Amino acid sequence: MNRADADSNWVQLGIDVVQTTYNQMFGEWLSAAGGRMYSDDLRRVTVGDSDNQGLTTLEWMVRFTNEVNGGIAAQERVNRYARSGFYNEQMSMLLNGAWSYFQILENAPSINVGVASIPHRDGFDYRPSMSLGWGYGIPSTAAHPEEAWLLLKLLTIELDGGGYFVLRQGRPGATMEINLQPEYPEAHPYWHVIQESFNRSVPAEFAPSVSGTGSLGRQMVDSVVRGQLSPQAAMEQLVTTWQARLDDFWRSLD
């Protein structure tokens, strides 16, 4: 799906697997490969362990970028930001979340788009974690907070309101009852794919509140695809920095 013009410049990429302006990419691919961030007791960062998938995942992301997509400079001429190439119909596939369908239709309404689950490592029974959600707030200065709360409940979690807010965007709601409404397949023609992902999912395990973990992964990938560090050196740097922050977290609770 990579196509070049007469001057060997990309006019279309199949997929950008690193999306260097997006924090979640390394974690998404690591999860699909069966890798883990922490030890069972959550005291040690294990993503760099030899029997984990961390280094293998990083090496694959870099190899794909360099060998398939011609390097980061050639890739970014097509996809400078996380979704720009896809919105401009210069990239065939985009790895993102369940909210993407609405965003794509808002930014590029003419695109003929489909939805599929993320590919995963052969032989691995991939179970995505249900970990990322949205929060809706009421300002502390609201003149009628009780009424605002009633409206918020009506539009998001109560069947009488039909989950109107999320339904209009084809995004998952906060309850199973909302997500099983018959109107959802009309709002999102690939709703069956979203439901199948839900059915395979498991609740996210508790993770220590270590700040900046997503950006650490992004910085690691970025340093390797730009030739600043080797995959091994970048992984060691990630583990050292992350472990120090993890230790600070546990010390704060002692």
For the stretch 132-157, pLDDT in tens is: 666 778 999 999 999 999 988 888 78
> Above pLDDT 70, what percent of the chain?
98
In this prediction, residue 98 carries a pLDDT of 81
- Model confidence at 162, pLDDT cuts 50, 70, 90, reads low
Question: Cβ contacts of residue 128 below 8 Å, gap of 6+?
Answer: 31, 118, 197, 200, 201, 202
Identify the CATH class of 3-110+213-253. Answer: alpha beta
Q: What mean pLDDT is predicted for residues 197-219? A: 85
In this prediction, residue 183 carries a pLDDT of 86
Start and end residues for every CATH 3.40.190.10 domain found in the chain:
3-110+213-253
In this prediction, residue 135 carries a pLDDT of 74
In this prediction, residue 161 carries a pLDDT of 76
Helices marked H in 35-183: 54-63, 72-76, 84-87, 100-107, 145-156, 164-168, 176-179
Rounded CA separation 87/106 (Å) = 10
- Model confidence at 131, pLDDT cuts 50, 70, 90, reads low
Does pLDDT of 186 surpass 90?
no
- Model confidence at 212, pLDDT cuts 50, 70, 90, reads confident
Mean pLDDT taken over the chain? 89
Does pLDDT of 171 surpass 80?
yes
Helices marked H in 19-144: 25-33, 54-63, 72-76, 84-87, 100-107
Does pLDDT of 5 surpass 90?
yes
